[in-house]
Structures are given as structure tokens and as C-alpha cells.
């Protein structure tokens, strides 16, 4: 199947280095300490953060730093066919772990000893790049909750199909079986906190694909900063500052 046309256009009309339209909204869940909706094209994710709060299971309490927990689940209606087991399967468990480890790298857990931070991520619509969208939503939710962080974590995927590096893969491109690199970075510190890759890829091409993903991450970071700044201005306005 031809994923990039001779004119250099992808199946959804994007250019190889073009991202899908992104949209973010803060404060979607009133009961949560922090929450956000993040959309990348047709992929739609909602994240909520509860905490820092008292550790539920005393055996898990850590005296030196906070305990970070994460749960990723997909709504039954998030994919084309109704899902039977939206959570508890291997994939959900693996993504939960990936998100937790990625977020732990940026949260200043030592400032919140003997406490627990719960990150819940729910996929409402899935069209490729769900784990990237989840990490971006979780970052926004943590910022909204006022959890101290070293830097924002932003994530984006890139792939290599028809001898062309592609940025921000959708479901059709993702399931083509080609290499898929998911990258998470701390943009200000310029450090990589997540790197996952499926399939084989020559090292020299990996550099190009990774560079493309980094550019995507930085573009998302700029957008997230704008959203947070706008949200802060609105809060100031409401409080009459």
C-alpha cells in the first residue's frame, strides 16, 4: 500500500513532516485536582490528577518521596469495533507503566514525601498515537494540579514508511507494520525521558526519524506553554489580580 503519494502527500492529506491538528483544554474534571483534555487529530484523551494525597495503602508509603500511580484505560467506544476489555489487558498495563515512568522522571517527588499522586488517563477516541496524547494530557493535568515538575514532558511519534520519515502517525500508518518511534522529551532541559521503537530501522535513519519526533515534541511543548499561560491569565482575571 502506498502511504505517501508521488506528490508527497499522506493518506489524510498531510505532508510527511506535518503534525495533526492539536487542541488542549484544562480543567475538564471539576472534582480532580488537575485535569486536561488533549486531542491530536482524531485521537482524544482525558487525564485527571488526584493528589498529592494520603497514601491509600500504608505498606506502599515511601518516607523520602511521593508515590506516583497511573492507570490508562480505553473507552469501549474509542475504537471502530466495540472493545470487550477496555482495561486490565497487557497493552493497557504496559502503557500505564510507560506513562508512570515518564512522569516520574519529571515530577519532583522528593518535595512531596509520604504522599501519593494518582494519574488517570482515559482514551475517548483512538486514531494512533494514544500514548503520546496520554503523556501530553498527563503533563497538562499535573501542571493544572500544581504538582512541582522539573520541566514539561511532551511526546510525539514518528515513523518510516515508503522510505519516508513521517511525523505523528495515525492509526492506518501505525498499523502498517513499519518502524514506529515514540519519543518523550523534557524540552527546556533538552533531555529524553521516553524512547520506544517497534520494528527494525537502520541507525542512520533512526537519527532522522528521532530528530523529526523531537521537532514534533518541541512544537507540542510550545503549544502546551501557550495553553497554560492562557489558563493562568484566565485564573488571574477571575480572581481579580
- The reply on whether position 64 binds another protein by CB under 8 A is no
What CA–CA distance (Å, rounded) separates 228 from 241? 17
Least distance to another protein, CB of residue 230, Å = 21
* 158 interacts with another protein by CB under 8 A: no
Q: Is 30 a binder of another protein (CB under 8 A)?
A: yes
User: Can you tell me the distance from the alpha carbon of 60 to that of 54, in angstroms, rounded to the nearest whole number?
Assistant: 11
Residue selected from 15, 82, 85, 110 as contacting another protein according to rule CB under 8 A: 82
Q: Which stretch binds another protein (CB under 8 A): 43-51, 168-176, 185-193, 211-219?
A: 43-51
Closest of 142, 237, 140, 136 to residue 194, by C-alpha = 136
Minimum CB–partner distance for residue 121 and another protein (Å): 8
Type and span of the H or E element at 115? strand 115-125
Q: Does 48 bind another protein (CB under 8 A)?
A: yes
Please, which residue, 70 or 166, has the CB nearer to another protein? Answer: 70
- Put the strands of the sheet holding 154-161 in their side by side order: 164-167, 154-161, 180-186, 191-198
Torsions phi, psi of 113, nearest 5?
A: -70, 155
Among 4, 19, 22, 32, binds another protein (CB under 8 A): 32
How far apart are the C-alpha atoms of 73 and 40, rounded to whole Å? 17
Contact pattern for another protein over residues 93 through 132, marking x by CB under 8 A: -------------------------x-xxx-x--------
| Cα-based distances in Å from 158 to 71, 83, 155, 207 | 24, 26, 10, 11
60 binds another protein (CB under 8 A): no
Q: What is the DSSP letter of 185?
A: E
> Which residues contribute to the site for another protein (CB under 8 A)?
28-32, 35, 46-48, 50, 53, 56, 69, 71, 73, 75-77, 82, 118, 120-122, 124
Amino acid at each position: 500500500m502506498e502511504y505517501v503519494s508521488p506528490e508527497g502527500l499522506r493518506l489524510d492529506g498531510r505532508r510527511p513532516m506535518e503534525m495533526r491538528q492539536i487542541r488542549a483544554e484544562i480543567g475538564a474534571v471539576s472534582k480532580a485536582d488537575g485535569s486536561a483534555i488533549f486531542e491530536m487529530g482524531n485521537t482524544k484523551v482525558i487525564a485527571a490528577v488526584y493528589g498529592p494525597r494520603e497514601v491509600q495503602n500504608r505498606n506502599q508509603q515511601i518516607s523520602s518521596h511521593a508515590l506516583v500511580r497511573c492507570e490508562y484505560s480505553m473507552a469501549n467506544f474509542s475504537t471502530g469495533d466495540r472493545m470487550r476489555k477496555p482495561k486490565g489487558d497487557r497493552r493497557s498495563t504496559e502503557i500505564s507503566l510507560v506513562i508512570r515512568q515518564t512522569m516520574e522522571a519529571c515530577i519532583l517527588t522528593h518535595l512531596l514525601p509520604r504522599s501519593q499522586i494518582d494519574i488517570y488517563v482515559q482514551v475517548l477516541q483512538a486514531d494512533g498515537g494514544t500514548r503520546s496524547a496520554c503523556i501530553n494530557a498527563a503533563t497538562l493535568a499535573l501542571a493544572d494540579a500544581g504538582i512541582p515538575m522539573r520541566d514539561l514532558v511532551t511526546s510525539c511519534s514518528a515513523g518510516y514508511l515508503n522510505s519516508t520519515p513521517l511525523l505523528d502517525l495515525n492509526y492506518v500508518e501505525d498499523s502498517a507494520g513499519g518502524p514506529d518511534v515514540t519519543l518523550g522529551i523534557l524540552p527546556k532541559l533538552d533531555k529524553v525521558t521516553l524512547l520506544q521503537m517497534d520494528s527494525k530501522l537502520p541507525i542512520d535513519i533512526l537519527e532522522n526519524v528521532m530528530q523529526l519526533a523531537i521537532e514534533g515534541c518541541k512544537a507540542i511543548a510550545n503549544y502546551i506553554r501557550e495553553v497554560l499561560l492562557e489558563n493562568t491569565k484566565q485564573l488571574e482575571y477571575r480572581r481579580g489580580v
